[in-house]
C-alpha cells in the first residue's frame, strides 16, 4: 500500500476543490487544462497540449524500460446548476462537476506528482487528460488527433468514481463492463388527409405503431437470450396531425443500449429491416438514422488482471470485486479500448451522506477521502506494469 505524504493528500484536495469551483464543459476546458499542464510541468513532466482540441498528455520516463502505460482522466463538467452550498461550490453559473471528473483529474495529478518524485517504475507513463467525456466525443477526438500514433502507449487504463459503493471499494470485470449508447430516428412519410376518409391516404400513425411493435421483437426474437443483453426503447412519437387530420408524417425517436459491438450492429440492421418491411407493406416511405454515441466499454482480460492486482495491493483484497455485474451506463473511454488493450474500473465514492449522492445530481460532490485511494491505485498500477 502506498503511503502518501499528508502534504500531497492536502494538495490533491485543494486541486480537486479548485477544479470543482471552476467547472468547464465539453471541449471548452481551457482553464482546467491550463491548471493541469502547469502542475505537471512544475514537477518536470513533459506536457504535450492541444490533442483533440484541448486534451493533453504528460510524459514521464524513468530507467531504460521500453514498456509504457497510459493512465486517463477526464476534465469536463456538466450543464447542471449546482445546489450545494459549500465553499468550493461552482462559480460558473449553470455548470457543475456532477460526475466527479474534478476528482479524477486530481487523483491522476496526485499520482503524477508522486511518480515524478519517487520514480517507482521503469519505462514511460503517459498521463492522459481528455475533454468532453460526457458527450462521448473527447476520447475519439484525441485518438483522431494521433494519440496512439504520436505516443507509444502499450495499454490504457481508466477509473471512475461510483456513489453508493463504499469509499475505496473497487469494481471491475473482464469483458463488457458498460453498455453502448445509441439513438435512432425513424421518419415515416405517408399520405395525410381527412380523418373521415382514411382510405384515400396512407396513415403514418398506423405504420409507425406497427414499427414500434416490430422494434419490440429485436430483443425478444433477434438477439441471443443468453449472450446479447440489450435495451431498445422508442421514447418519442411525433406527428403533424390534428384532431380531424390524418398526418402526413410520423417521427419516432428512441434509445438503444447493449454490451458488444456485434449486438450493436445486429440491432441497427434489424431495426432498418423492420422499418423498411413495414413501410413497404403499407406504401409509406421512410428515412432511418442510427447514431452511436458511446461504444460498449470492453476490458481486455490480461490488463483487467493487472488492474485487479494493483487494486488489491492499493486498496486491500476485501475491497475489490474482480467480477462485478455490468452497468447500463456508458463511458467514452470505450473508444480508447477499441484501439488499445486496457481496463476501466470503478472506485467507490462512499455511501449515504458521504459520497452517496448519485452522479449527475445537482447535490453530488466527489468525496475527497477517496483521492488517496485513486492515486494509490494509479501509482501501484504504473509500478506493476512498468517493473
List contacts with Zn ion (CB under 5 A).
99
In this complex, which beta carbon is closest to Zn ion, that of residue 99 or of residue 106? 99
The C-alpha atoms of residue 56 and residue 136 are separated, in whole angstroms, by 17
In this complex, which beta carbon is closest to Zn ion, that of residue 79 or of residue 280? 79
In this complex, which beta carbon is closest to Zn ion, that of residue 130 or of residue 304? 130
Which residues form the catalytic set? 76, 133
Tell me the sheet residues that pair with 236: 253
Q: Which residues neighbour 268 within 8 Å (Cβ) at sequence distance 6 or greater?
A: 182, 184, 290
**Least Å from the CB of residue 23 to Zn ion:** 12
**Least Å from the CB of residue 297 to Zn ion:** 12
DSSP code of residue 97: -
**Least Å from the CB of residue 161 to Zn ion:** 8
**Least Å from the CB of residue 67 to Zn ion:** 28
In this complex, which beta carbon is closest to Zn ion, that of residue 99 or of residue 172? 99
C-alpha cell at 21: 469551483
Binding-site residue ranges = 99, 101, 134, 160, 360
**Least Å from the CB of residue 237 to Zn ion:** 28
In this complex, which beta carbon is closest to Zn ion, that of residue 99 or of residue 336? 99
Q: Is the dihedral of CA 155, 65, 310, 18 positive or negative?
A: negative
Strands (E), 262-385: 285-294, 297-299, 320-321, 342-350
Q: Is the dihedral of CA 205, 206, 211, 216 positive or negative?
A: positive
- Which residue of the chain is nearest Zn ion when measured via CB? 99
Displacement of CA 368 from its chain's centroid (Å): 21
The C-alpha atoms of residue 252 and residue 209 are separated, in whole angstroms, by 9
Q: Which residues neighbour 352 within 8 Å (Cβ) at sequence distance 6 or greater?
A: none
Half-sphere exposure of 85 (CA within 13 A, CB side): 0
**Which residue pairs, CB below 8 angstroms and at least 24 apart, start in 81-84?**
81/362, 82/362, 83/362, 83/363, 84/362, 84/363, 84/365
**Least Å from the CB of residue 79 to Zn ion:** 11
In this complex, which beta carbon is closest to Zn ion, that of residue 194 or of residue 360? 360
Beta carbons of 307 and 157 less than 8 angstroms apart? yes
Query: CB count, 10 Å around CB of 241?
Result: 16
The C-alpha atoms of residue 161 and residue 99 are separated, in whole angstroms, by 8
The C-alpha atoms of residue 77 and residue 326 are separated, in whole angstroms, by 24
| Core vs surface per residue 297-320: b (16+ CB within 10 A) or e | bbbbeebbebbbbbbbbbbeeebb
**Least Å from the CB of residue 74 to Zn ion:** 6
Least Cα distance to 146 among 26, 53, 31 occurs for 53
In this complex, which beta carbon is closest to Zn ion, that of residue 45 or of residue 128? 128
Binding-site residue ranges for Mn(2+) = 99, 101, 134, 160, 360
The C-alpha atoms of residue 287 and residue 290 are separated, in whole angstroms, by 10
Amino acid at each position: 500500500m502506498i503511503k502518501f505524504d499528508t502534504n500531497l493528500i492536502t494538495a490533491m484536495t485543494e486541486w480537486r476543490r479548485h477544479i470543482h469551483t471552476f467547472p468547464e464543459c465539453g471541449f471548452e476546458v481551457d482553464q482546467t487544462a491550463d491548471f493541469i499542464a502547469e502542475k505537471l510541468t512544475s514537477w518536470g513532466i513533459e506536457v504535450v497540449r492541444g490533442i483533440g482540441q484541448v486534451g493533453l498528455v504528460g510524459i514521464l520516463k524513468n530507467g531504460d524500460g521500453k514498456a509504457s502505460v497510459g493512465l486517463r482522466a477526464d476534465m469536463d463538467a456538466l450543464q447542471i446548476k449546482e445546489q450545494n452550498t459549500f465553499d468550493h461550490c461552482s462559480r460558473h453559473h449553470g455548470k457543475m462537476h456532477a460526475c466527479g471528473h474534478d476528482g479524477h483529474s486530481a487523483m491522476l495529478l496526485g499520482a503524477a506528482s508522486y511518480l515524478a518524485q519517487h520514480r517507482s517504475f521503469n519505462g514511460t507513463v503517459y498521463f492522459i487528460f481528455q475533454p468532453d467525456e460526457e458527450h462521448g466525443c473527447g476520447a475519439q477526438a484525441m485518438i483522431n488527433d494521433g494519440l496512439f500514433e504520436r505516443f507509444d502507449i502499450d495499454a490504457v487504463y481508466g477509473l471512475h468514481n461510483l456513489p453508493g459503493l463504499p469509499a475505496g471499494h473497487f469494481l471491475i470485470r473482464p469483458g463488457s463492463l458498460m453498455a453502448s449508447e445509441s439513438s435512432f430516428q425513424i421518419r415515416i412519410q405517408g399520405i395525410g388527409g381527412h380523418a373521415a376518409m382514411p382510405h384515400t391516404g396512407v396513415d403514418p400513425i398506423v405504420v409507425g405503431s406497427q414499427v414500434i411493435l416490430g422494434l419490440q421483437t429485436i430483443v425478444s426474437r433477434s438477439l441471443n437470450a443468453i449472450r446479447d443483453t440489450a435495451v431498445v426503447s422508442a421514447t418519442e412519437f411525433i406527428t403533424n396531425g390534428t384532431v380531424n387530420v390524418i398526418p402526413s408524417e410520423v417521427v419516432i425517436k428512441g434509445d438503444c443500449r447493449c454490451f458488444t459491438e456485434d449486438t450493436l450492429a445486429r440491432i441497427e440492421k434489424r431495426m432498418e429491416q423492420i422499418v423498411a418491411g413495414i413501410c413497404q407493406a403499407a406504401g409509406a416511405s421512410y428515412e432511418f438514422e442510427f447514431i452511436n454515441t458511446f461504444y460498449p466499454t470492453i476490458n481486455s482480460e490480461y490488463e483487467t488482471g493487472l488492474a485487479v492486482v494493483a487494486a488489491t495491493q492499493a486498496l486491500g483484497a476485501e475491497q475489490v470485486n474482480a467480477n462485478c455485474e455490468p452497468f447500463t451506463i456508458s463511458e467514452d473511454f470505450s473508444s480508447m479500448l477499441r484501439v488499445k488493450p486496457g481496463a476501466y474500473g470503478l472506485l467507490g465514492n462512499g455511501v449515504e451522506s458521504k459520497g452517496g449522492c448519485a452522479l449527475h445530481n445537482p447535490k453530488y460532490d466527489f468525496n475527497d477521502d477517496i483521492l488517496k485511494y485513486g492515486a494509490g491505485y494509479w501509482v501501484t498500477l504504473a509500478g506493476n506494469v512498468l517493473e
